[in-house]
């Protein structure tokens, strides 16, 4: 039996500061993506964030980083349940035409089954 899933996602820009006027890269900008998930029965949930391996993927606790200076960081906040994270190879990707880069993903997993969860993903350009 497939459990029904009710999910809402809200995205908001928190800051829009640039290091220099006219700079095309939006360093210092933070997006907050709120996932609010309610299930009919408890489940272990997973969130993958995919990136090109050539940019470099690193972990520091629950903080994931893509690239070096400048980098994009992904930080889960406001956790209702404990998470664990690891870097894995992405074996199959849809939507690319031509040669596909080697992709990996940060995989965030709930350590326990949950009936509902609300997580704010802070995505920052550093």
| Among 32, 31, 30, 33, CA closest to 8 | 33
The whole-number pLDDT of residue 90 equals 85
4, pLDDT greater than 50: yes
pTM of whole model > 0.85?
no
- Start-to-end CA distance of the chain, whole Å, equals 44
The answer to whether 106 touches 58, Cβ cutoff 8 Å, is no
The whole-number pLDDT of residue 73 equals 95
Q: Which range among 27-31, 87-91, 120-124 shows the weakest confidence by mean pLDDT?
A: 27-31
Domain range for 51 is 5-92+101-125
The answer to whether 105 touches 50, Cβ cutoff 8 Å, is yes
- 82: tokens are 């404990």
Q: What is the DSSP letter of 95?
A: S
Distance CA 95, CA 45 (A): 24
Q: What count of other Cβ atoms lies within 10 Å of the Cβ of residue 2?
A: 5
The count of domains in the chain is: 1
């Amino acid at each position: 039996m497939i459990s029904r899933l009710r999910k809402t996602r809200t995205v908001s820009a928190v800051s829009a500061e640039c290091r220099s006027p006219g700079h095309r890269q939006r360093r210092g900008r933070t997006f907050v993506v709120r996932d609010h998930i309610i299930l009919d029965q408890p489940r272990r949930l997973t969130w993958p964030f995919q990136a090109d391996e050539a940019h470099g993927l690193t972990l520091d606790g629950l903080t994931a980083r893509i690239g070096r200076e400048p980098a994009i960081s992904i930080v889960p906040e406001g956790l209702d349940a404990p998470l664990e994270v690891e870097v894995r190879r992405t074996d199959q990707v849809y939507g690319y035409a031509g040669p596909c880069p080697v992709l990996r993903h940060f995989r965030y997993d709930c350590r326990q089954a949950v009936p509902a969860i609300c997580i704010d993903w802070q995505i920052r350009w550093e």
